[in-house]
């Protein structure tokens, strides 16, 4: 009788201990799972916040060339404010209507109009932006076969806006503003609009480079004799009456005029292709400050 009672109590006690241990082990496992789940959720939320910031507020950008010297040097890291010109609702898709047009003299970032540049898919674009931001521009997964980052965005200064006409004379910019009938030099426009930015010229002016139809005597009547040829017509218009900048377009140029591939090559740029305004340089450390 005593033995049976003792055995029964021992079994109950053993079951109680084992049950308690199992419960503790289960609670520990659940706690570990909870911690892992919390970390996963935290990472996911961090990625969502990064993507939202990149899409709607700001983007990091590395200046790929020296086209803006001396204002901004090649390799400078800049912060680009996106909101004023309409952020993309989805990467590469559904751009939101812009809040304002670019101002004359602003340093802006826009999509490279090179037709040979293959577009990046939305998934790759999201991954690229996240990696680029989290590594503070040190890792760029969008590279060519030689490992060099593809130049998908360009940074230039807005020289002409909608309604302007712009042309080059002796290597310098002239503008015919909307509603006016006299051409003004870029310096005149800078004074009128209270703009202060440098223009770098390093090459001697060669008239033949600017206006091949009228600078070389034997070709002075090429356009008159062959107006039907598109190349002649385009060259004549560019050099005599300038580029007209239609509505919702702007004319960007580099401050380093002789080493800048800009709207003089690909023409006025659609405002839809604007990414944002370059506002701040954060690297190199000795160049930290606002971009003007």
5-17 pLDDT, tens digit per residue, is 656 655 566 666 5
The whole-number average pLDDT for the span 65-89 is 88
- Whole-angstrom Cα distance, residue 285 to residue 292? 17
The least confident of 190-194, 225-229, 251-255, 260-264 is 225-229
- Whole-angstrom Cα distance, residue 76 to residue 279? 12
Asked if residue 160 and residue 28 are part of one domain, the reply reads: no
Is the model's pLDDT at 109 over the cut of 70? yes
Confidence of residue 125 (pLDDT cuts 50, 70, 90): confident
DSSP one-letter code for 228? T
Which pLDDT does position 119 carry in this prediction?
82
Asked if residue 156 and residue 11 are part of one domain, the reply reads: no
Report if residue 142 sits inside a domain. Answer: yes
Q: Which single residue is written with the structure tokens 């480079």?
A: 209
Looking at the 3D structure of the chain, how many domains does it have? 2
* Phi, psi of 85, deg, nearest 5: -105, 15
pTM of the model: 0.75
- Whole-angstrom Cα distance, residue 213 to residue 210? 9
Report if residue 185 sits inside a domain. Answer: no
Pairing of strands 107-111, 165-169: unpaired
Is the model's pLDDT at 54 over the cut of 80? no
Report if residue 70 sits inside a domain. Answer: yes
Is the model's pLDDT at 252 over the cut of 90? yes
Which pLDDT does position 93 carry in this prediction?
62
The least confident of 137-151, 171-185, 215-229 is 215-229
Which pLDDT does position 269 carry in this prediction?
94
Asked if residue 125 and residue 5 are part of one domain, the reply reads: no
Asked if residue 33 and residue 95 are part of one domain, the reply reads: no
Asked if residue 157 and residue 16 are part of one domain, the reply reads: no
The least confident of 90-104, 116-130, 183-197 is 90-104
Is the model's pLDDT at 215 over the cut of 50? no
Is the model's pLDDT at 209 over the cut of 90? no
Neighbours of 127 (CB within 10 A): 17
Is the model's pLDDT at 72 over the cut of 90? yes
pLDDT digits (tens, 9 = 90+) for 2-46: 555 656 655 566 666 557 677 777 766 666 667 777 778 777 887
Asked if residue 32 and residue 60 are part of one domain, the reply reads: no
Per the model's pLDDT, the better-predicted residue between 208 and 88 turns out to be: 88
The least confident of 58-62, 131-135, 245-249 is 131-135
The least confident of 20-24, 115-119, 123-127, 273-277 is 20-24
Which pLDDT does position 23 carry in this prediction?
73
For residue 92, give the CATH number of its domain: 2.10.109.10
């Amino acid at each position: 009788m005593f033995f049976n009672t003792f055995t029964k109590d021992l079994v109950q006690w053993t079951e109680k201990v084992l049950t308690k241990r199992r419960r503790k082990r289960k609670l520990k496992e659940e706690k570990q799972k909870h911690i892992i789940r919390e970390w996963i959720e935290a990472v996911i939320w961090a990625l969502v916040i990064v993507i939202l910031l990149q899409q709607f507020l700001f983007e990091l950008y590395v200046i790929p060339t020296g086209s803006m010297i001396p204002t901004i040097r090649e390799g400078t890291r800049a912060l680009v404010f996106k909101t004023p010109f309409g952020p993309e609702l989805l990467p590469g898709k559904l751009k939101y209507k812009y809040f304002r047009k670019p101002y004359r003299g602003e340093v802006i970032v826009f999509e490279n109009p090179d037709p040979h540049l293959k577009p990046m898919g939305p998934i790759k674009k999201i991954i690229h932006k996240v990696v680029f931001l989290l590594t503070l521009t040190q890792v760029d997964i969008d590279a060519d076969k030689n490992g060099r980052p593809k130049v998908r965005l360009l940074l230039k200064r807005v020289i002409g806006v909608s309604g302007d006409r712009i042309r080059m004379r002796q290597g310098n910019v002239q503008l015919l503003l909307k509603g006016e009938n006299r051409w003004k030099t870029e310096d005149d426009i800078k004074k009128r609009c209270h703009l202060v930015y440098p223009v770098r010229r390093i090459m001697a002016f060669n008239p033949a480079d600017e206006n091949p139809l009228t600078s070389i005597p034997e070709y002075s009547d090429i356009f008159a004799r062959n107006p039907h040829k598109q190349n002649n017509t385009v060259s004549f218009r560019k050099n005599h009456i300038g580029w007209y900048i239609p509505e919702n377009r702007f004319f960007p140029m580099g401050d380093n005029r002789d080493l800048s591939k800009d709207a003089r090559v690909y023409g006025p740029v659609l405002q839809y292709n604007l990414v944002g305004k370059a506002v701040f340089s954060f690297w190199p450390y000795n160049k930290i400050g606002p971009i003007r």
